[in-house]
Chains A and B, each alone.
Chain A
Amino acid sequence: MQQSNASALASAALGGDDRALGRLISLVESDPGALLQVSPQLAASAQRAHTIGVTGSPGVGKSTLIAELLREFRGEQRRVAVVAVDPSSPFSGGALLGDRIRMQAHVLDRDVFIRSMSNRGHLGGLASRTPDVIDLLSRAGFDVVIVETVGIGQAEVEIANYADTVVLVSTADSGDSVQVAKAGVLEIGDVFVVNKSDRPGSGVIAADLREMLSLGSHADGFDPQVLELSAQSHEGVTELISELARHRAWLSSTGEIGRLRVRRAETRLRSVLAELALTRADLLDDGAAVPRAAAQIAEGSLDVREAARTILDRTTEPPRDR
């Protein structure tokens, strides 16, 4: 896209034009280099939003909970953006994004912006575009940016890389106290929510979580709370709002927010480095280098690490004169 078009889009988006914002997000998703074109304008707009990541297994009620958070934040006159991330099919490349169904009551509110995203190409080695979109939204005049992701595999840990506050949602039904005890998950959660607290066994899950938390210490010294609530009946939601504010205040007062931002920048840098290495490797010999090496590795005539080093070295060779 032309420099002038991207800049015009960014100005309009920062000025509150939803259509421009929608198109700018698409641009960033398909061409993260476009962010570079508009970064002076974005940098002038401070990154002031509180980014909240909400993750957990399918069916625990994340979207319903976010809809309730939206009600509370709007009651406080705060402008909120929501990004709902769902996986895309590694086979068809397509995605069916339905998280916003439960938030549609807010769709006409001028101070709420909801966007669905898939992790398009992410499994294939592309860097996730989610951090770029979050960064854009946090500079686009919103007070809060909520990111919803499905906690499958390492996704819970990933969300910690681009959210200020991570909320881990579980229920008595999903046997999650075992899931939550997986490596890394207990350490990165800033707030633990046991949703559908009316279900039997919720108290036990909450007690299990509290005990596990008391045994270890949080990665950065914060003391996370376990909240039992029922999103559907709005019970316990105000306590969650308070807890989110408490964590945000803690991040500022301890200076942790600065350290967090550096860690996030490093994670993004590393993922872009990996993407660039792969892109360059795929271009070598008009795309033949990688498949040729793969065939040799499969027949046993080439070691995989040696192949990778050779390819990488070749991608950084200065171009030869023809």
Chain B
Amino acid sequence: MTMPTPDPERSRTRIVVAKPGLDGHDRGAKVIARSLRDAGFEVIYTGLHQTPEQIVRTAIQEDAAIIGLSILSGAHMHLFTEVLRLLKENDADGIGVFGGGIIPAPDITTLSEMGVAKIFTPGASTRDVIAWVDDFVASTNQP
């Protein structure tokens, strides 16, 4: 068996995966976290019941390039708004925010207008997520 070579760009890319709010179903978040790890990224998983403040502070301490939020509770508008606001307040709005979960199409539009970089609906594959992360990192690396 030949040893696959880690991708240095991916292993330098740090992604915080978080479950904000009261929602207790973390299987989706864990699937994403593990698939990102298997693709070669460095994933920091914060666990359940995180407040937007906790998530943003974590991303700052960890110098994350991207935050991924998994929200199944319906509180996505409030939670994304808060995370974006706190990132800006802390001069950290270069950190990309993406998310997944149960989010209706009109809300997805509003969220993108607010600055959420990408929302994945339940049909999205882990391959889609990985491809998007690669593109996002490439676009932020361009001078």
Q: A115 near B39 (CB under 8 angstroms)?
A: no
Annotate A113-136 by CB proximity to B: 1 below 8 A, 0 otherwise: 111101011000000000000000
Decide if A104 is an interface residue (CB 8 Å cutoff): yes
Decide if A92 is an interface residue (CB 8 Å cutoff): yes
The size class of the interface chain A forms with chain B is 20 to 34
- Residues of the B chain whose Cβ atoms lie less than 8 Å from the Cβ of A115: 61-62
Q: How far is the CA of A149 from the CA of B60 in the complex (A)?
A: 22
Q: Residues of B at under 8 Å CB distance from A?
A: 3-8, 10-12, 14, 33-34, 36-47, 50, 53-54, 57-58, 60-63, 90-92
Q: B42 near A120 (CB under 8 angstroms)?
A: yes
Q: Which of A21-29, A198-206, A278-286 contacts B (4 or more CB under 8 A)?
A: A21-29
Q: A19-B92, A91-B3, A93-B7 are in contact. Are A118 and B42 (CB under 8 A)?
A: yes
Q: B60 near A97 (CB under 8 angstroms)?
A: no
Q: A94 near B61 (CB under 8 angstroms)?
A: no
> Which B residue's beta carbon lies closest to that of A118?
B42
Q: How far is the CA of A89 from the CA of B39 in the complex (A)?
A: 10
- Residues of the B chain whose Cβ atoms lie less than 8 Å from the Cβ of A92: 4, 6, 37-40
Q: B58 near A100 (CB under 8 angstroms)?
A: yes
Nearest 3 interchain pairs by C-beta: A93-B6, A101-B47, A22-B63
Decide if A46 is an interface residue (CB 8 Å cutoff): no
Within 8 Å by CB of A94, from B5, B38, B63, B92, lies B38
- Residues of the A chain whose Cβ atoms lie less than 8 Å from the Cβ of B10: 93-94
Q: A97 near B43 (CB under 8 angstroms)?
A: yes
Q: How far is the CA of A269 from the CA of B101 in the complex (A)?
A: 49
- Residues of the B chain whose Cβ atoms lie less than 8 Å from the Cβ of A104: 46-47, 50, 54, 58
Can you list 11 A-B pairs, Cβ within 8 angstroms, ordered by A? Answer: A30-B12, A92-B4, A93-B40, A94-B6, A94-B38, A95-B42, A97-B43, A101-B45, A107-B57, A107-B58, A115-B61
Q: Residues of A at under 8 Å CB distance from B?
A: 18-19, 21-23, 25-26, 30, 88-98, 100-101, 104, 107-108, 113-116, 118, 120-121
Q: B53 near A108 (CB under 8 angstroms)?
A: yes
- Residues of the B chain whose Cβ atoms lie less than 8 Å from the Cβ of A101: 45-47
- Residues of the A chain whose Cβ atoms lie less than 8 Å from the Cβ of B91: 19
Q: B60 near A116 (CB under 8 angstroms)?
A: no
List 5 additional A-B contacts (Cβ < 8 Å) besides A90-B3, A120-B42. A18-B60, A25-B63, A26-B63, A98-B47, A108-B54
Most buried by A among B33, B61, B91, B92: B61
- Residues of the A chain whose Cβ atoms lie less than 8 Å from the Cβ of B90: 19
Q: B54 near A94 (CB under 8 angstroms)?
A: no
- Residues of the A chain whose Cβ atoms lie less than 8 Å from the Cβ of B8: 93
Return A125 CB to nearest CB of chain B, in Å: 13
Q: How far is the CA of A118 from the CA of B121 in the complex (A)?
A: 30
> Which A residue's beta carbon lies closest to that of B42?
A95
Within 8 Å by CB of A93, from B11, B43, B44, B58, lies B11
Return B92 CB to nearest CB of chain A, in Å: 6
Q: B41 near A116 (CB under 8 angstroms)?
A: no
- Residues of the B chain whose Cβ atoms lie less than 8 Å from the Cβ of A88: 11, 42
Q: How far is the CA of A116 from the CA of B6 in the complex (A)?
A: 19
- Residues of the A chain whose Cβ atoms lie less than 8 Å from the Cβ of B62: 22, 115-116
- Residues of the B chain whose Cβ atoms lie less than 8 Å from the Cβ of A113: 61
Return A211 CB to nearest CB of chain B, in Å: 39
> Which A residue's beta carbon lies closest to that of B50?
A104
Q: B54 near A107 (CB under 8 angstroms)?
A: yes
Q: B37 near A96 (CB under 8 angstroms)?
A: yes
> Which A residue's beta carbon lies closest to that of B90?
A19
Return B50 CB to nearest CB of chain A, in Å: 7
Q: How far is the CA of A125 from the CA of B44 in the complex (A)?
A: 24
> Which B residue's beta carbon lies closest to that of A120?
B11
- Residues of the A chain whose Cβ atoms lie less than 8 Å from the Cβ of B4: 91-92
- Residues of the B chain whose Cβ atoms lie less than 8 Å from the Cβ of A19: 60, 63, 90-92
Within 8 Å by CB of B46, from A22, A25, A90, A100, lies A100
Q: B43 near A94 (CB under 8 angstroms)?
A: yes
